Structure 1
């Protein structure tokens, strides 16, 4: 009896409790129809005005790519590790934008101003997420440095955490950003958040598995300028660029452009990946991520080597140092001018 159970009733309760917890975690398996090289994970940063959405995106971009973003417009794609890319998108307080981003978000960073509490926009967005499949949600508390003492800080953290768990589920992840240095959050807190982002596993949703969709990160207006000048309201020919998510796009499909209506696609083509995952010369996946592989692709934010304007595309080549022609020619500038004058007189 040295190795027997001392309390049979307590043991039965523990076994039953473990079985109940295991059953709660069971789910119907769904087939993940993504490719071998998946598209970037869409991370939506949502919160009321003044809660620090832009600062969080700048801090994440700085951590992953070591670059400073001065302007945040449109989707921002970055390489976070050797197997995953992220597309960061800031959600505005427009109801239409909330609905559109709730349909495509793989992960939602729900930002809350701890000095004020939950606001109406937060609950509206949570209700919209419930309608569209409810993706992964993580809470982020900001402005914690406004608390007067540690007792008020811990009390506020506990109250907001339990209120957040009521809306999501018990044990939902919540992160705390206590302060800022030079316009960015503290590095160790952002690193902790980034580790959870790049290691999170996502459950495939049925609707997205059966419908292809594209988050457009760049566009070009191919309409002839003369036609636009004659008739500003003329039909435009537009080329849209973006990663295809869900299933495959087919040329005969009708697509819905948000705010514009349904259209027929003329052509669908595969292009070179503007923000590829790091690979070796043989095309194999790298074992580690070097500084050269920390790529940033944000056309609308004027980041990287491509700048998108209303009617042009500018490529930043950088400063190039070269040798002037005067230094290569042994003759001086006066001698060359005199020789050029003699050649002109001889020609006359």
Structure 2
């Protein structure tokens, strides 16, 4: 012997024969737990009747909470944009939040938020953002048409009168989906105070809305905008949210006007500034069918009779039907006529074409090179 250890012969596993076939069938079926139950039934029996009863009651409670009265969903195959109303007291960051969400979805910056802003957020989703002013009439009008409410709360001050007013108005007209957003969290210097404030505001918000309502935290601002990751997280929740049809909205035809034109003869206005005007209103029709020559109510103005109702091409269409995983940059549309964004604007005397600033700069560079 020269000190070498004799190598042990390795086990040759069988790949054929009845025993190998039996092992293979057992592995494929994956019914190991069923065999264990048959072999040792006492191990899987009820050990505690009290614990079993509690588990059963909990499962039934969760199942019962999901029960709801079925409602008829009259949403068409190509649904109109989801109306998102941003509510909050003054100086809480409503316009900033809308600008950040628009930038998150469309990669475009919008200066002034004026009127409804419609964007394409996905292959089958469009969103319309509306900022709610702090007067009771605007709150009542927007509470009726809102699908989702982003309720901004100043964490350094707490809940204000406008928040409770809007919640009570929503309870009267049908409660839409409500998500809370806490701002001005960077004013807290002590982390313990911040955690305590967050917890208190969250439970107070749950008392007003429902237990487990979503409350987002916007921790601070960078260069006049909210942090990108936090806005992206909020935008993701908005995109996947499902809405229940509200009774008032499904039983009434209503239009959220995003563009308005005065078609009155200019000479008539010059001679009599207080003459009756002929006005053309544009917007997506929601709810039931709108009848021609019917009576309508214009919020803040009064009751009128429609002269004519027409279908128009979609100013903010959904992307093409071809299969793809995401939107390209050209299909990330933004439509805000009252803010001066949205392609071609027709006037009585002339036609104006709005070009993005980057396009104008490219043309100027080309002209210099020539």
Q: Provide the residue aligned with 1:271 in structure 2.
A: 312
* 1:102 and 2:143 are equivalent in the alignment: yes
Asked if 1 retains the 8 angstrom alpha-carbon contact of 2:144 and 2:248, the reply is: no
SS in 2 for 1:241: strand
Change (3 A) 1:197 1:310: farther
* Counterpart in the other structure of 1:89: 130
Distance 1:277 1:148 in 2: 45
Residue in 1 that maps onto 2:80: 39
Kindly tell me: are residues 123 and 180 of structure 1, through their superposed partners in 2, closer, same or farther at Cα, counting changes over 3 Å? Answer: same
Partner of 1:27: 68
The total of aligned residue pairs comes to: 322
Q: Which residue of 1 is the match for residue 191 of structure 2?
A: 150
What is the aligned partner in structure 2 of residue 5 from structure 1? 46
In the alignment, the residues of structure 2 paired with residue 85 and residue 130 of structure 1 have an alpha-carbon distance, to the nearest angstrom, of 26
The Cα shift of 1:303 comes to 2.4
Question: Which of 284, 307, 311 is the equivalent residue of 1:243?
Answer: 284
Distance 2:323 2:247 in 1: 29
Q: Distance in 1 between matches of 2:86 and 2:114?
A: 13
Is the contact between residue 82 and residue 285 of structure 1 (CA under 8 Å) also seen in structure 2?
no
Indicate yes or no: 2:112 matched with 1:63.
Answer: no
- Contact kept, 8 Å, 1:274 with 1:297, in 2: the verdict is yes
Q: Deviations over 1:159-190 (max 9, x none)?
A: 10000001011100000000111211000000
Asked whether 1:314 is paired with 2:352, we answer yes
Distance 1:219 1:16, change over 3 A: same
Q: CA offset at residue 208 of structure 1?
A: 1.0
In structure 2, the gaps of 5 or more residues are 1-41
Per-residue deviation, 1:290? 1.1
Q: Distance in 1 between matches of 2:128 and 2:366?
A: 42
Q: CA deviation at 1:44?
A: 0.3
Aligned alpha-carbon RMSD (Å) = 2.0
Deviations 1:14-34 (A, max 9, x none): 111221221122111111101
After alignment, is 231-240 or 252-261 more displaced?
A: 252-261
Q: Would you say the 8 A contact 1:221–1:311 is kept in 2?
A: no
Report the Cα distance in structure 2 between the residues aligned to 1:165 and 1:172, rounded to whole angstroms: 6
TM-score of the superposition, structure 2-length normalised?
0.83
Runs of 5+ unmatched residues, structure 1: 328-348
3-state SS of 1:2 partner:
helix
**Counterparts of 2:51 and 2:257, CA distance in 1:** 58
Aligned to 2:157: 116
Q: C-alpha distance in 2, partners of 1:270/1:310?
A: 20
Separation (CA, whole Å) in 1 of partners of 2:167 and 2:137:
14
Deviation at 1:305, TM superposition (A): 3.2
Q: Partner of 1:202 in structure 2?
A: 243
Does the residue aligned with 2:44 lie in a helix, a strand or coil? coil
Determine if contact 1:212/1:248 at 8 Å carries over to the other structure.
Answer: yes
Cα separation, partners in 2 of 1:136 and 1:302, compared to 1, 3 Å: same
Alignment correspondent of 1:292:
330
1:342 is matched with none
> Secondary structure at 1:259's aligned position in 2?
coil
Offset at 1:156? 0.7
1:79/1:295 contact within 8 Å kept? yes
Aligned equivalent of 1:214:
255
**Which residue of structure 1 lines up, in the alignment, with residue 223 of structure 2?**
182
- Preserved contact between residue 279 and residue 286 of structure 1 (Cα < 8 Å): no
